[in-house]
Amino acid sequence: MLEIRNVTVTYGPVIAVKNVSLRVDKGSITVILGANGSGKSSLLQAIVGLNRIASGQIIFEGERIDKLQAHEVVKRGLVLCPDSRMIFHRMSVFENLQAGAYLRKDDFSSDLEFIFKLFPRLKERLKQKAGTLSGGERQMLAIARALMAKPKLLMLDEPSTGLAPNLVTEIMKVIKQINEAGVTILLVEQSAYAALKISNYGYVLQTGRIVLEGPSERLLKDSFVIESYLGGKMGVSE
């Protein structure tokens, strides 16, 4: 569904992503693991047109998209939920959800019903200002708003950042439900165990390069992943 071919992303003289190649199969959950500064966010932003690539190709559903503007990428069904969440604090929960559907011309009432099944708390807080939500609720709203764009492929950048372990588990369960509803997922995470448990395939990014890849079950048992990302043990309980 998505193929990254030898992509390099630079910021002036700084190389953030160097010659990265990866693929995301339709219907899968694919995870990219990596420490802060490894190039994960830079890569996701390049995929959706927020960063221009210095070289390489980005192909979505058989067509190159690396020359498109960000709104054109969204129209094709590729949507990013950024790590900073970037909700509109002064707007209500419902207004934030409406903002996610700004490119749509169809009726999105059925999508709202699906979102409220995933996140019942958002339905309870529809008129509440987004800035008054808890950290976990803000993350729920950020994911929900991204879903309102009706993505074919949803990219989630560090959805567990700053959340308590029980909320990390809850968010991962929701991501699995979204995938089971037919949305392909590309997940960038530092909560390695939680992400690998729900995903099909994984990549490890270090200093802008892919240093390891494989089926998630295999990566969970890989000594490098265990020592580097799981603290020598399985870090998050099921």
Query: pLDDT by residue (tens digit) across 114-125?
Result: 999 999 999 999
Q: State how far the alpha carbon of 154 is from the alpha carbons of 55, 151, 172, 232, in Å.
A: 24, 6, 14, 30
pLDDT at residue 12 tops 60: yes
Q: 31-64 burial, b for 16+ CB within 10 Å, e for fewer? A: bbbbeeebbbbbbbbbbbbebebeebebebeeee
pLDDT at residue 233 tops 60: no
Residues in the chain: 238
Q: Distance of alpha carbon 111 from its chain centroid, rounded?
A: 19
Domains and CATH numbers, the chain: 2-84+151-229 (3.40.50.300)
pLDDT, residue 202, reads 96
What percentage of the chain's residues is helix, strand, coil (to nearest 5)?
35, 25, 35
pLDDT, residue 235, reads 42
End-to-end CA distance of the chain: 29
pLDDT at residue 88 tops 80: yes
Beta bridge partners of 129: 92
Indicate the pTM of the whole model. 0.89
